[in-house]
Amino acid sequence: MITPVLIYFLKVNLALALLYVCYRLLFREDTFFRLRRGVLLSIYLVAFLYPLPDLSGWLAGQTSVADIVSYYSVLLPKETVTMPNHEITSTTGWKETGLTVMQLIWLAGTSILLFRCLAELFTVCQLYKKCRKITLNGIRICLLPKDESSYSFFKWIFISPSQDYGEKLDDILVHERTHVCQWHSADILLSEIVCIICWINPFAWWLKKEISINHEFIADEQVMLSGFNKKEYQYHLIGMEQPNMAIANLYNNFSVLPLKKRITMLNKKRTNSVRKVKYLALIPMAAGLLLLNNIDAMARVLNEKVTDVIQLPALETVVSETEIADPLPPGKDKIYDLDKCDIKPEFPGGEGALLQFLAKSIKYPVEAQRLGKQGTVNISFVIEKDGMITNAKIVQPLYPSLDKEALRVINSMPKWTPGKLKDGTVVRVQYTVPLTYRLQ
């Protein structure tokens, strides 16, 4: 069964994908690194929060939105529709089993990644306790016991004493101190948590990678602003490609590809400040997701409220007493009442298929929901000799929008098997169906 938690999870992952694509298209090539950091963190904020606000009360009063909700609800899959003597279920056993298996796979992956994350945190904390601490240029440093790349974690800066940094040490310290002062580790920890929860979504991992490389851009920019020579600093970065000559960065084993991007960004012309205005595009993106989420929620509620299409048409049929004028000569195209027909007309697939068709097709108008309108609509129609439905009309009205929806569904029915007399003569048959709207 599709639960609200599963729907929320799917919406979050969809938003991560859409917003990541927008980030790549709009912001990735800019040199506004701090603004880019804000956008990347805002993607997480929007993705996890936009499914929560409920604006259905306000949106229900908007005619255009109500029409969209009614149309969208038709596209949603149906699960279970309960009738007086029948239960039609479209969610079969194998679907339930499939969902359960997928949930178990997700839980297993999440557990493994969570364990790995906790193990890494424990390792860093244990390493901090073991390291000898010194002060360099007024900065507290943890000396690594092994020959490793330098890195930082929150307020801790780790440097290997066995490395011969020479003139590199000053820009290393500025680089790592930028990570520390701007709390870049908090961003990484947040992105790691999102990856643990949404590990099946590749966009979550790509977002984490974008956050990491953007941190390096920010730190590199700060080194340049501190007055270091750009050309020499690039040579220091290139030294990372050589074995056992890695210089300071936030993470160990920093690959060559991000290094190339860092050097490219260092030499790139600064983006014109006028282009900062495009970062406001995140606001309509978030508003659009919020609107779509509420339309989806309203459509699901609309589907849930159409709980009954009751009374079996083939068993309990209300026969109209209204006189039917014969436009053609008597006896030739006479319209017979259902009880006068020897072989009754039949919906394709039988009465069970008719019930299922009605349950899937009928949509509770939003306006009627809001006003609490419910009850039964009786609709009369003629099943022609070729099985077509004609002359559909309301014989017991309920409420205009409910009557209109009932007529729409009846007129959309496929051809029936026509009724016959004992001698096999195909005849036109008057048929009346009661449709009941009921709010939960």
H-helix segments, 331-413: 351-361, 366-371, 400-411
User: For position 66, what pLDDT does the model report?
Assistant: 67
Per-residue pLDDT reduced to its tens digit, 326-339: 444 444 578 888 88
pLDDT at 12 over 90: yes
Mean pLDDT within 85-97: 51
Please report which helix (H) or strand (E) contains residue 247, including its range: none
Mean pLDDT within 387-400: 91
Mean per-residue pLDDT of the chain: 80
pLDDT at 116 over 70: yes
pLDDT at 342 over 70: yes
Could you give the angle at the alpha carbon of 111 between the alpha carbons of 97 and 109, nearest 5°? 55
User: For position 242, what pLDDT does the model report?
Assistant: 45
Mean pLDDT within 373-383: 88
C-beta separation of 48 from 193 below 8 A: no
Per-residue pLDDT reduced to its tens digit, 268-281: 999 999 999 999 99
Per-residue pLDDT reduced to its tens digit, 169-213: 788 888 889 999 999 999 999 999 999 999 999 999 999 999 999
User: For position 304, what pLDDT does the model report?
Assistant: 55
H-helix segments, 239-318: 256-267, 282-305
Whole-angstrom distance, CA of residue 50 vs CA of residue 287: 8
C-beta separation of 436 from 412 below 8 A: no
To the question of pTM greater than 0.85 for the whole model, the response is no
Query: Higher model confidence: residue 17 or residue 432?
Result: 17
Could you give the angle at the alpha carbon of 121 between the alpha carbons of 152 and 245, nearest 5°? 40
Of the pLDDT bands very low, low, confident and very high (cuts 50, 70, 90), residue 84 is very low
In this structure, of 15-24, 213-222, 306-315, the range with the lowest mean pLDDT score is: 306-315
User: For position 360, what pLDDT does the model report?
Assistant: 80
Please report which helix (H) or strand (E) contains residue 114, including its range: helix 93-130
Whole-angstrom distance, CA of residue 436 vs CA of residue 15: 38
Of the pLDDT bands very low, low, confident and very high (cuts 50, 70, 90), residue 74 is low
In the block, residue with structure tokens 């390291």: 131
User: For position 318, what pLDDT does the model report?
Assistant: 40
C-beta separation of 248 from 151 below 8 A: yes
391 φ, ψ to 5°?
A: 55, 35
User: For position 165, what pLDDT does the model report?
Assistant: 62
pLDDT at 306 over 70: no
Of the pLDDT bands very low, low, confident and very high (cuts 50, 70, 90), residue 317 is very low
| Cα 132 to Cα 157, 159, 172, 238, distances in angstroms | 12, 10, 19, 29
User: For position 22, what pLDDT does the model report?
Assistant: 95
Give the range with max mean pLDDT: 123-137, 149-163, 354-368: 123-137
Of the pLDDT bands very low, low, confident and very high (cuts 50, 70, 90), residue 302 is low
Whole-angstrom distance, CA of residue 297 vs CA of residue 55: 10
